């Protein structure tokens, strides 16, 4: 029997992917916001109001994370904004690999800002960096 030292961060492989995303977003000149909160807090509503205020000034894109449905993506697409849906199929958070794939769906269009609506949950999403510039959350958990 032998003991071997590992001393490795469990999410190190994931954090490397997040770093790749961060470099990709920087190259493309896209500001990325990862919006997290509990279900019903108003994430989609906040995105709708933001689009109304900013869509004439900036080119915007939205990634909608949801366990199973595309209701929120349908809501956002009525504003004439490009939306990419990610259905996690049960997983309670978005990870960097999902974001990387989703980002390619915006194609050659240049985005000034990308808003990622994370899965409605305030526990798991907080542990997974997506390569974003900023995290948006409601500190009171409402």
Partner 1 sequence: MHEFSIAQSIMQIVLAEAERAEARKVLKVSLKIGDLTAVSPDSLSFCFELLAKGTIAEDSTLIIEKVPIMGYCPHCKKVFSIEDNQYLCQNCGNHKIELTTGRELQINHLEIEHETD
**Whole-angstrom Cα distance, residue 15 to residue 19?**
6
- Near partner 1 by CB under 8 A: residue from 9, 56, 57, 68: 9
Q: Which whole-number Å values give the CA distances from 131 to 16, 36, 65, 87, 99, in the listed order? A: 9, 14, 16, 19, 9
- Near partner 1 by CB under 8 A: residue from 91, 105, 133, 135: 91
Q: At a CB cut-off of 8 Å and minimum separation 6, what does 73 contact?
A: 62, 64, 66, 83, 84, 85
Q: Is 3 in the site for partner 1 (CB under 8 A)?
A: yes
Three-point CA angle 18, 19, 24, nearest 5°: 95
If we measure between CA atoms, which residue out of 5, 9, 6 comes closest to residue 129? 9
| Count of residues interacting with partner 1 (CB under 8 A) | 23
Nearer to partner 1, 27 or 140 (CB): 140
- Near partner 1 by CB under 8 A: residue from 48, 95, 117, 132: 95
Window contacting partner 1 (CB under 8 A); options: 51-59, 70-78, 92-100, 109-117: 92-100
CB of 126 to partner 1, least distance (A): 8
Q: Is 90 in the site for partner 1 (CB under 8 A)?
A: yes
**Whole-angstrom Cα distance, residue 35 to residue 32?**
10
CB of 1 to partner 1, least distance (A): 6
Q: Is 2 in the site for partner 1 (CB under 8 A)?
A: yes
> Contact positions toward partner 1, by CB under 8 A?
1-14, 90-93, 95, 123-124, 127-128
């Amino acid at each position: 029997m032998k003991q071997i030292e590992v001393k490795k961060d469990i999410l190190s492989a994931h954090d490397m992917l997040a770093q790749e995303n961060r470099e990709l977003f920087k190259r493309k000149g896209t500001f990325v916001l990862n919006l997290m909160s509990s279900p019903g807090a108003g994430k989609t509503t906040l995105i709708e109001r933001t689009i109304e205020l900013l869509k004439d000034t900036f080119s915007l894109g939205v990634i909608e994370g949801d366990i199973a449905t595309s209701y929120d993506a349908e809501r956002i697409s009525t504003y004439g904004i490009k939306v990419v849906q990610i259905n996690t199929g049960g997983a309670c958070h978005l990870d960097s690999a999902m974001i990387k794939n989703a980002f390619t769906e915006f194609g050659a269009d240049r985005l000034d800002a990308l808003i990622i609506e994370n899965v409605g949950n305030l526990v798991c999403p907080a542990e997974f960096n997506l390569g974003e510039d900023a995290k948006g959350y409601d500190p009171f958990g409402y």
